[in-house]
Amino acid sequence: MTAQAAETDRAAFAQEWQEWHEQKEKVLAGPHGFLAITGLHWLDATPTRFPDAPGTWSSTADGVVVELADGEELTLEGQVLRGRHEFGVIEERASLFPASGDAVIEVAKRGGYDIVRPRHPENALRLAFTGTPAYAPDPRWALAGRYVPFDVPRPTTVGAAVEGLQHVYDAPGQVEFELDGTTLRLTAFNGHAPGSLLVLLTDATSGVTTYAANRAVSIDAPDADGHVLIDFNRAANLPCAYTDLATCPLPPAENRLRVAIEAGEKTPTAPVLTSRSVPTGGAASAPAEGTAGHDGP
């Protein structure tokens, strides 16, 4: 390859990375993205009203219930909700997003707990966001690897950004790759697209130039021979890097690398500090198994 062709390829690589990064930032800082979250409210059997959401909320054996007072309403999938509404049992890592004016009120389950997490476009954290710093994209960090499936998926328990919370994911296998002559392996969870993978990791840059708790790398589905591309330029911050109102999973122990991955997103502006612990006496149940989400997705 000529020097000019190599430079063209490098420029195209950088442009693709820039488009990926801009799209990620757009979602994060969107009107109802994670930077718009104003509260993380843990539900239990006691009906409770919160300052940033209409209605009185509770968690029952039949799922999440809201009691809307006169003059209050929510809209969900085109249906206007008034009075008492039962959302039913929400699956682990699933969310519903009823609207309230220009806000949405996320109703979800995380780590076996029902939660309400309002998202308001005027939230100060969103309005103050100026972008996420990152290493310059470098093709050196787009590494060829191999997917090694387990005989059967392994339920894997990991901690969470919220103290006292755990997530359980099915790990279908590991990805292995070479870096500076050393073979490294990372346990992979199922990604969002069919057949794709998601790797959560820390490395020697974590807590130095990159966010201390975790970063995530999405990997396209392996080919017929198990070949994968692990592009660490796209090692991305999870929402907990920006806000303490996220419940993100932490990497499994074997994914805590001792080498420095000097690629991908760096530590963002310090998040708003709030409580990150699960309240005692909440409506907890055993965490469910499933696919990985960015908040534990």
Establish if 194 belongs to a structural domain.
yes
Contact 137, 236 (CB under 8 A): no
In a domain, 227, yes or no: yes
Among 78, 102, 127, give the residue marking a domain's end: 127
CA distance 103 to 147: 42
Each residue of 45-73: pLDDT tens digit? 999 999 999 999 999 999 999 999 999 99
Per-residue confidence (pLDDT) for residue 3, from 0 to 100: 77
pLDDT tens digits, one per residue of 180-191: 999 999 999 999
Condensed to tens digits (0 to 9), the pLDDT of residues 19-42 reads 999 999 999 999 999 999 999 999
Same-domain status, 114 and 156: no
Backbone angles phi, psi at 86, to 5 degrees: -105, 120
And the tokens for 161?
């950004």
**The predicted structure's pLDDT at residue 271:** 59
**Domain assignment of residue 106, yes or no:** yes
Query: Based on the domain organization, do 156 and 228 belong to the same domain?
Result: yes
Would 262 be classed as within a structural domain? Answer: no
Q: What is the C-alpha separation between 43 and 259, in angstroms, rounded?
A: 41
| Same domain as 84, residue 175 | no
**Token output for 109:** 């389950």
If asked whether residues 143 and 239 sit together in one domain, one would say yes
Residues facing residue 169 across a β-bridge: 156
Residue 179 lies in a domain: yes
Query: Around Cβ 67, how many Cβ atoms within 10 Å?
Result: 14
Number of folded domains that form the chain: 2
Q: Are 175 and 73 part of one and the same domain?
A: no
Spatial CB neighbours of 296, under 8 Å, sequence gap ≥ 6: 93, 110, 111, 160, 167, 247, 248, 249
What's the sign of the alpha-carbon dihedral 217, 220, 224, 230?
negative
Q: Average pLDDT of 183-205?
A: 97
**Residues 73 and 66 sit within 8 Å (Cβ to Cβ):** no
| Mean pLDDT estimate for the chain | 91
Residue 18 maps to a domain: no
Domain span at residue 162 reads: 132-255
- pTM metric for this prediction: 0.89
**How far does Cα 124 stand from its chain's mean position?**
21
What distance in Å separates the CA atoms of residue 214 and residue 211, rounded to the nearest whole number?
6
Q: Assess contact for 56 and 66: CB atoms under 8 A.
A: yes
Predicted pLDDT at 212: 97
Residue 26, amino acid:
K
Q: Tell which wins on pLDDT, 3 or 34.
A: 34
Residue 58 and residue 102 in one domain? yes
One domain for residues 158 and 138 = yes
Residue tagged 């991305």 (tokens) = 236
Instruction: Please tell me whether residues 183 and 206 are part of one structural domain.
Output: yes
